[in-house]
Amino acid sequence: MERVEQKKQSSCTAGPLTSASLRQAVSVMQMMVASCYGPYGRLKQIHNDSGGYVTTTSQSAALLGGISVTHPALQLLVASIRNHTFAFSDCGLFAAILCCSLIDRCLRLPVSTHKVVKAHQSLMDMCLSYLKSEDCACKINVDFTHSKLLLALTRSVLYSKPACMMTRTEVDYVSLLIVKAFLYKVPNVSATSHLLGRTVVVAVEGASVMDSAFIPGVLIEAPACGWSRTMPSSRLPPTNIKLALFSGSLCGEFSETGDGTVEVMAGVDPEKVMLDQLLDLGRQLVDDDVQILLCQKVIHPSLKQYLKEHDICALDRLGAALMEPLSEMTGAQPVASLCPVSSASYGRLQQISNVSYGNKQYLHLLPDTTAVCSIVLCNRNETSLKELTRTCQTAERTLNHLLKEPWLLLGGGCTEAHVAAYIRYQVSSLPGSHLEELRCTAAEYKLAADCFCSALEAAARSLEHDGGEILTDFQDGHVWSVPPEASGVDCAREPVSAIQPPTRTEVPPVLLAKEALILDGFSAKCNGIRVAVDTAGLILDLAYVVKDTN
């Protein structure tokens, strides 16, 4: 009816923000995310009560995207972690753990929240400026001339997601593919017009991981039937192919007549006019020696037939997603109208071939340029394939970020422990002016710093799940994980000789020579720390929750 429904009043409450309720909610969250963290993390299965799709994952993006939380503070936390993973893909779990443990520890401090939040802000600035500085001892500069570090980084990313269900050799194989693709799409000449190429991921279910492949160019999936019918009777065209790309429809419909009405008098057949134009276009293509025609939308059957008779391969219904890579790769201009195609709009392809992965048929378009490449990812079942796809995209993005900030951080909790040690050292010798700016006493600042450092170390410690011991070198900032039964030390780096944090240390060459180096991306880690501290500050600063119940 026309009546305006009365709005209910919002509920305004401070209930969920009391220390006890907040800590309880946060600890549940922390338990969930911390148990997923790292290569030995436990998997989570997310499924709906009323059936449907089941996801097995230990990735933050899938995990936090799949659950719904009711606690308002946790809603805030989940939203900001998801935004972080949307931008960086990596370090989502780390940020969540850090944020949770920060909130939990801050609530236990006998200092007013405002002061703690401000102190944490300054500690975070200190920590990030240390990580960015030249003196940082846990940072490695990337040398793009060697693929070793890139491989190690990719391997760490893939290895830390156990839900992909890959063996060590498979991990090595897939990381090799990813690094290959990455190096392939980086342009050879540095010019402003040359942008980073793109990778198209093609997921194939059912095959073994080792069947995955790196392919330059684009794969177009063949439709289930009718593929052979549209293909010219003769074989696929040979090398050096001339190609025309159409983004407009070639279905021959009389459309786009404007806003007004169009009257058609008796005896006039607009469709026939359109078809005549289509055939004219076909004739022009034949005259121009075009060998393949790609169309985003539908091609009229008559035109298809005509092209087939003239040995032109016509592929239609490619969809909008493929148009941009195709245009980039072949240099063709997508044509939008039936007008005569100018010769500048044609593109070139090196080769076309039929390939098959799993039980699917693909048409492989191999270009001259290196702008676009594809990775075929295979895995045995749907769940692990999805996880693998997500993980590979994460790895790809992490590598992309390297181009912007060419540094790597030591993984395996070492960076966190090292930074914590650095902060503890710095805080012990802090100038008084800094405290005055923050308007807090030295003792308060010390408490806040302790809280911050222990939260960082807690994040590092949550890598261990099997009841093993975590050894932390507070002096040097270094973490070992000792499995309960084994005697070996699984660690990112060899114990370096004892150093004072402020002094400059190189990452020793002996470490770089080590085979299984665990590395983290720099940008994602920094942003993760920032997001965690910002979000914790926000949550601690809340006074009321107002909920619109309409």
Partner 1 sequence: MYHKPTDSNNYIALDSCHLPSWLLNVPRSQFIRAHRNCSRKQDYDLESDMLVEKFVAKGYDKQTLLGTRELVGKCSRAELLIQRDKTKNIHEEWEVVYILMRLGFTGMQRHTEHLNIRKILQVTEPLENILRSCFGPEGGQVLFIKSTGDLLITKDGRRILESLLLDHPVARLWDFDFQMKCKIYFNLKTTPWTTEQQSISFSPWPRADKVHLRWSRSEKTRRGRHRKKMGGPGPDATPIGPGPQMDRPWVRYNGSLSTAFQNAVDKPLMLPIPALCRSTILSLVSLDSSLVLTMVESANIFRSALQIIEGTCTDNRHYSITEIQFKTDTRRSEGPVRKLTNYGEKGRHERMIVKSASRHYDITGDGVKSFVLLLCAVLRELQATADKNEDPLSSGKNQYQRLGHALRRLSNLLLTFHSRVLAHIIAEHLSPHFLSVFRLMEGNITLCRASVQHILDTYFSGRIGCNLQGFISKLACEYFYNSFLDIGDIPSVVSLVNKYFSELLTEVSGLPVADSRILPGLILHRPFSVYCPAEGEVRALIVTEQISPCLSDTDIDFVVSSDFQLQQSQLFQRLRTESVLRQLRQKEVKVIFSRVKQHEIVLYYAKLSGISIVDCLPSEEISLLCKITGVSQMSGPLNGDLQTVTFPAASCKPIVIGSKKYVHLVFQSSSAFRPHSLVLCGPVKGVTEQLVSAFHGAFRMLTQLFHPFTAIQEQPPSNADSYFPKVAVLSKEQSVTCNGCRNDSAGHKCYLENIDQAVHVLGTLSVEKDSTRACKECSASLSPSYRCEDTGNICFHEMRRKSHQEPFIIHGDSSSITDSTGTIPFANVGLVFPGAGVFELLLKDYLYKFAKTCHDTELASICTMFGNALLCIPRQIYKAKTGQVHFPLYYLQCTQNMKPTDLLSIAETGLEPVSCKYQLLASVLQCISQLVTIDLIVGVKRSPCSRSEETDQDMLLEDH
Q: Which of residues 384-403 bind partner 1 (CB under 8 A)?
A: none
Radius of gyration of the chain from its Cα atoms, rounded to whole angstroms: 29
Secondary structure of 342-399 in HEC code, one letter for each residue: CHHHCEEECEEEEEEECCEEEEEEECCCCCEEEEEEEECCHHHHHHHHHHHHHHHHHH
Three-class secondary structure of residue 140 per DSSP: strand
Q: Specify the residue, 188 or 549, whose C-beta has the smaller distance to partner 1.
A: 549
What is the side-by-side strand order in the sheet with 407-410?
139-141, 407-410, 519-521
Span 68-97, contacts to partner 1 by CB under 8 A: 72-73, 75-76, 79-80, 83-84, 86-87
Distance (Å, whole) CA 159 – CA 166: 8
Does residue 333 touch partner 1 according to CB under 8 A?
Answer: yes
DSSP category for residue 299:
B
Half-sphere CA count of 301, side-chain side, radius 13 A: 2
Size of the residue set binding partner 1 (CB under 8 A):
75
Q: Specify the residue, 342 or 429, whose C-beta has the smaller distance to partner 1.
A: 342
Which distant-in-sequence residues (6+ apart) come within 8 Å of 411 by Cβ?
156, 492, 518, 519, 520
Neighbours of 196 (CB within 10 A): 12
Tokens of 272: 């026939």
CB of 523 to partner 1, least distance (A): 11
Does residue 10 touch partner 1 according to CB under 8 A?
Answer: yes
Site string for partner 1, 335-354 (x = CB under 8 A): xxxxx--x-xx---------
Site string for partner 1, 446-485 (x = CB under 8 A): ----------------------------------------
Listed ranges 115-123, 178-186, 376-384, 472-480: which one lies at the site for partner 1 (CB under 8 A): 115-123
Q: What angle do CA 108, 540, 538 make, to 5 degrees?
A: 150
Q: Specify the residue, 258 or 509, whose C-beta has the smaller distance to partner 1.
A: 258
Q: Specify the residue, 11 or 141, whose C-beta has the smaller distance to partner 1.
A: 11
Distance (Å, whole) CA 43 – CA 245: 45
CB of 116 to partner 1, least distance (A): 10
CB of 262 to partner 1, least distance (A): 5
Binder of partner 1 out of 334, 347, 413, 521 (CB under 8 A): 334
Residue 227's alpha-carbon distances to 130, 221, 323, 333, in angstroms, are: 59, 10, 20, 25
CB of 476 to partner 1, least distance (A): 29
Three-class secondary structure of residue 499 per DSSP: coil
Span 256-315, contacts to partner 1 by CB under 8 A: 256-265, 267-270, 272-273, 276-277
Three-class secondary structure of residue 57 per DSSP: strand
Bridge partners for 520 per DSSP: 409
CB of 537 to partner 1, least distance (A): 4
Does residue 534 touch partner 1 according to CB under 8 A?
Answer: yes
Span 164-223, contacts to partner 1 by CB under 8 A: 192-193
Residues 290, 337 contacting (CB under 8 angstroms):
no
CB of 68 to partner 1, least distance (A): 9
Residue labelled with tokens 């040995």: 311
Does residue 225 touch partner 1 according to CB under 8 A?
Answer: no
CB of 95 to partner 1, least distance (A): 10
Q: Specify the residue, 20 or 265, whose C-beta has the smaller distance to partner 1.
A: 265
DSSP category for residue 371:
S
Listed ranges 56-64, 250-258, 352-360, 366-374: which one lies at the site for partner 1 (CB under 8 A): 250-258
Q: Determine which helix (DSSP H) or strand (DSSP E) holds 153, and give its type and residue range.
A: helix 148-159
Does residue 45 touch partner 1 according to CB under 8 A?
Answer: no
Identify residue 58 by its one-letter amino acid code. Answer: S
Does residue 324 touch partner 1 according to CB under 8 A?
Answer: no
CB of 302 to partner 1, least distance (A): 17
CB of 43 to partner 1, least distance (A): 26
CB of 92 to partner 1, least distance (A): 12
Binder of partner 1 out of 21, 27, 121, 389 (CB under 8 A): 121
Listed ranges 41-49, 182-190, 488-496, 534-542: which one lies at the site for partner 1 (CB under 8 A): 534-542
Residue labelled with tokens 């090398």: 239
Does residue 438 touch partner 1 according to CB under 8 A?
Answer: no
Half-sphere CA count of 318, side-chain side, radius 13 A: 27
Q: Exposed, middle or buried by CB within 10 Å (0-12, 13-18, 19+), for 374?
A: buried
Q: Specify the residue, 312 or 533, whose C-beta has the smaller distance to partner 1.
A: 533
Q: What angle do CA 388, 156, 37 make, to 5 degrees?
A: 75
Does residue 541 touch partner 1 according to CB under 8 A?
Answer: yes
CB of 120 to partner 1, least distance (A): 7
Q: Specify the residue, 295 or 388, whose C-beta has the smaller distance to partner 1.
A: 295
Give the relative orientation of helices 92-108 and 72-88 as an angle to the nearest 10 degrees: 150
Binder of partner 1 out of 3, 229, 235, 404 (CB under 8 A): 3
For residues 238, 242, 245, 246, the Cα torsion angle rounded to the nearest 10 degrees is -100
Q: What angle do CA 25, 30, 35 make, to 5 degrees?
A: 140
Which distant-in-sequence residues (6+ apart) come within 8 Å of 439 by Cβ?
115, 118
CB of 173 to partner 1, least distance (A): 31
Residues 57, 8 contacting (CB under 8 angstroms):
no
Binder of partner 1 out of 6, 145, 239, 433 (CB under 8 A): 6
CB of 449 to partner 1, least distance (A): 16
Does residue 531 touch partner 1 according to CB under 8 A?
Answer: yes
